[in-house]
Amino acid sequence: MFYQKSLARIPFFVFKELEEIPGLIHAFTSRQTDTVMIDAEGSGEVAPEKQLLLQTMGLKFNQLVFLHQVHSDRVVTLNSSPANDSGPTEVGPADGVITAHPTQFPVIRTADCLPILAILPEQRQVCALHAGWRGTRDRITVQGVGKFLKMSEASPDQLVAAIGPCIRKCCYEVGPEIWDQYKEAGHDVERFFMGGHLDLVRANVAQLQELGVSQILDSEVCTCCRNDLFYSHRRERQAGRMWALAGFR
């Protein structure tokens, strides 16, 4: 169950199922988390509200790992513990990160693209992915979660994948060239496209299932339909960015 909660009067969203995993801290921010617009690229400054959110969650800014997101299928691995005292770790260009060190908190920034948090509760490890139409076409989920499972020597049934708010098939009309590219890449276009609309969630769920992952949580929220709660690049053009973050205490 995906629901809104608040800490110190700062609202954000969580999955109830993930809250039950011992030691795991996670959040999906919303518009209401930022009463002050954050820097769209998120590099550098954090709005006071997000700082307060981090504080309330018991996190330090230098535990965060930001990705220089470029709509690729590149997934990087961070083995070291946080070394930077003054600020967050920045990695990339990449659209996925695997943090072997549990106290690092990758942050995926989106405004319609799909954020995926993949969690291994027993291994206390997290993989976070940014999947837009390009990353999905290039199978970032298969690559990222596949690498994650291999690295941690975990079996797919130990993994929990959480699909955050993103633009859904109701609102995601795309041009025929995208259908062509998916077809060419060998995707099941009959299943992933409906009347010119792309179903990003279905395409990524298929990639998770291909790996044998069955514990898949879906927020079932469309950022474009629920523009009152979330940023939508499609609807707003100049949108802010939500954060999806997770890590272990």
Q: Which residues bind Zn ion (CB under 5 A)?
A: 168, 170-171, 222, 224-225
* Dist. CA 134–CA 226, nearest whole Å: 23
Nearer to Zn ion, 57 or 113 (CB): 113
Q: From the CB of 172, what's the least distance to Zn ion, in Å?
A: 8
Nearer to Zn ion, 7 or 171 (CB): 171
Nearer to Zn ion, 8 or 170 (CB): 170
Nearer to Zn ion, 142 or 171 (CB): 171
* Dist. CA 95–CA 109, nearest whole Å: 10
Per-residue tokens: 51? 């700082």
**Strand (E) or helix (H) holding 51:** helix 48-57
Nearer to Zn ion, 18 or 222 (CB): 222
Q: From the CB of 210, what's the least distance to Zn ion, in Å?
A: 26
Nearest to 159 by CA among 205, 208, 219: 208
Nearer to Zn ion, 142 or 225 (CB): 225
Nearest to 24 by CA among 120, 98, 114: 120
CA 17 to chain CA centroid, Å, is: 16
Q: From the CB of 229, what's the least distance to Zn ion, in Å?
A: 12
Nearest to 227 by CA among 145, 171, 187: 171
* Dist. CA 42–CA 62, nearest whole Å: 14
Q: From the CB of 70, what's the least distance to Zn ion, in Å?
A: 25
Q: From the CB of 194, what's the least distance to Zn ion, in Å?
A: 13
Q: From the CB of 166, what's the least distance to Zn ion, in Å?
A: 10
Strand 105-110 relative to strand 242-248, pairing: antiparallel
CB 145 within 8 A of CB 161: yes
